[in-house]
């Protein structure tokens, strides 16, 4: 999977390629789809949600600028696979998921893989996770129409937020938002991507 779909398509960061080789994706995939776990495609994980395509996981991990001393907030735990990769690239990962059944399964998969530098909880990503803020990095894996202000507020100076943004369910832009040391926020758009929408919590 890594040679054919990830390195071949231009992901170069050695730590990202190593993490993608080390974390067993099948553990994060429901049993009936396990034979496809190492193909480069998203797969259903229940509740109408999907585990992202491995190439996109690798690409976004590389774009997030791995740093072993940095903390990350991920919005949209889903299967827990992206969070597991982030555990290998950052000091500490916090991940929020709206749906309790997915969060519980992600927790079990993460325990099975033996990762310790992560906390996950059920919650609404529009509010972030203020208790552990600020974060050096924030990654969205569900698409809001606009980046929620609470998340911008929870980004550390010098930090970076990366995620799909847009209100079309079939197409969004991968946005990069950077906060300078003096708190100024700049935005740039890169690749077109397709993620599930970030749902407003109740």
Active site residues: 52
**145 versus 185: smaller Cβ distance to ligand SAH:** 145
Count the residues in the chain: 202
Site for ligand SAH, residues 88 to 147, rule: CB under 6 A: 96-99, 102, 124-126, 141-142
Q: Is 150 one of the binding residues for ligand SAH (CB under 6 A)? A: no
Q: By CB under 6 A, which span of 59-67, 157-165, 178-186, 191-199 interacts with ligand SAH?
A: 191-199
Enumerate the β-bridge partners of residue 179.
185
Which residue of 82, 107, 154, 172 would you call a contact of ligand SAH, by CB under 6 A?
A: 82
Give 116-120 contacts, CB < 8 A, sequence gap 24+: 117/87, 117/90, 117/91, 117/92, 117/93, 118/83, 118/84, 118/86, 118/87, 118/92, 118/93, 118/94, 119/92, 119/93, 119/94, 119/95, 120/77, 120/80, 120/83, 120/94, 120/95, 120/96
Smallest distance, ligand SAH to C-beta of residue 180, A? 27
Q: Give the binding site for ligand SAH (CB under 6 A).
A: 49-52, 75-76, 78-79, 81-82, 96-99, 102, 124-126, 141-142, 196, 198-199, 201
């Amino acid at each position: 999977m890594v040679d054919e779909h990830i390195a071949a398509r231009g992901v170069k960061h050695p730590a990202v390629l190593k993490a993608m080789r080390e974390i067993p994706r099948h553990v994060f995939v429901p049993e009936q789809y396990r034979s496809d776990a190492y193909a480069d495609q998203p797969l259903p994980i229940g509740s109408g949600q999907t585990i992202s395509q491995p190439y996109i996981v690798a690409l976004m991990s590389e774009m997030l600028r791995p740093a072993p001393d940095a903390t990350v907030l991920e919005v949209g735990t889903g299967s827990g696979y992206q969070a597991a990769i982030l555990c290998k690239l950052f000091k500490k990962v916090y991940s929020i998921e709206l749906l309790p059944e997915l969060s519980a399964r992600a927790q079990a998969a993460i325990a099975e893989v033996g990762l310790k530098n992560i906390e996950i909880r059920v919650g609404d990503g529009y509010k972030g996770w203020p208790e552990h803020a600020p974060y050096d990095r924030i990654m969205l894996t569900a698409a809001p129409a606009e980046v929620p202000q609470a998340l911008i507020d929870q980004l550390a100076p010098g930090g970076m937020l990366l995620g799909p943004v847009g209100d079309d369910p079939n197409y969004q832009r991968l946005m990069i938002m950077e906060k300078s040391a003096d708190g100024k926020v700049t935005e740039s758009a890169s690749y077109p991507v397709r993620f599930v929408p970030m749902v407003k919590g109740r």
